[in-house]
């Protein structure tokens, strides 16, 4: 169950046997059923996760109780996740993270992550990189969503992140873009018909 995690870390840093042994000792396997929450608004995020399988959505709960889609996590794209603002501030989260599919994750507590960063320099470097990449992905998707039309953003997803179109339900893609599910369906048909040789 740890082979996928080891492969992901190996791509970035050289893992010492002592570090890998400690990492496995700390790891806890967490299972989520579809539509089950990993984190709810009002909770403090005290864990970091690696997705072995499945996908999740990050939402913001507005004053009317409506969930506003903020982004996605998926095993085949970017498998490391945490609600970083709450994690680093120790404040209650304004966001929620919910499973879109049945999920299997590896869970580490904040205390364990801090211990690994303090005692293994290679992990401290790696941890900094994945957190920076998490922010980068968040801002990149937000910037693209705001600067492109709905059709242009869909083409961007098809060209650069097709796994999202394959695995994330249309309802959440539509909410993320800010259009109706029906309009999304029409745009998808138009794009696939027009650009079938390019996508």
Q: Residue 47's beta-bridge partner residues?
A: 109
Q: What is the CATH number of the domain that holds 18?
A: 2.60.120.10
Instruction: With respect to residue 103, please indicate whether it lies within any of the assigned structural domains.
Output: yes
Instruction: With respect to residue 84, please indicate whether it lies within any of the assigned structural domains.
Output: yes
Question: Which residue range forms the structural domain that includes residue 65?
Answer: 3-119
Instruction: With respect to residue 154, please indicate whether it lies within any of the assigned structural domains.
Output: no
- pLDDT score recorded for residue 65: 75
Residues 87-116 have a mean pLDDT of: 94
Is 0.85 topped by the overall pTM?
A: yes
- How open is the CA angle 186-192-193, to the nearest 5 degrees? 90
Instruction: With respect to residue 25, please indicate whether it lies within any of the assigned structural domains.
Output: yes
Contact 157, 53 (CB under 8 A): no
Task: Report the alpha-carbon distance of residue 8 to residue 79 in Å, rounded.
Answer: 9
Instruction: With respect to residue 183, please indicate whether it lies within any of the assigned structural domains.
Output: no
Which of 5-19, 32-46, 162-176 comes out lowest in average pLDDT? Answer: 5-19
Number of domains the chain is built from: 1
Q: How far is CA 81 from the centre of its chain?
A: 5
Instruction: With respect to residue 187, please indicate whether it lies within any of the assigned structural domains.
Output: no
- pLDDT higher for 6 or 132? 6
pLDDT value at 198 more than 60: no
Instruction: With respect to residue 22, please indicate whether it lies within any of the assigned structural domains.
Output: yes
- pLDDT score recorded for residue 199: 55
């Amino acid at each position: 169950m740890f082979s996928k995690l080891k492969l992901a870390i190996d791509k970035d840093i050289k893992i010492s046997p002592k570090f890998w042994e400690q990492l496995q000792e700390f790891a806890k396997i967490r299972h989520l059923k579809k539509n089950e929450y990993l984190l709810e608004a009002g909770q403090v995020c005290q864990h970091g996760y690696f997705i072995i399988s499945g996908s999740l959505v990050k939402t913001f709960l507005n004053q009317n109780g409506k969930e506003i889609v903020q982004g996605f996590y998926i095993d085949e794209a970017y498998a490391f996740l945490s609600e970083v603002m709450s994690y680093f501030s120790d404040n209650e989260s304004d966001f929620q993270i919910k499973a879109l599919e049945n999920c299997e994750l590896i869970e580490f507590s904040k205390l364990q992550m801090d211990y690994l960063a303090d005692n293994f320099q290679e992990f401290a470097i790696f941890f900094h990189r994945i957190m920076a990449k998490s922010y980068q992905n968040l801002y990149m998707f937000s910037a693209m969503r705001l600067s492109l039309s709905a059709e242009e953003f869909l083409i961007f997803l098809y060209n650069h992140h097709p796994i999202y179109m394959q695995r994330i339900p249309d309802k959440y893609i539509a909410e993320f873009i800010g259009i109706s599910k029906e309009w999304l369906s029409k745009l998808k048909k138009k794009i696939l018909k027009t650009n079938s040789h390019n996508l």
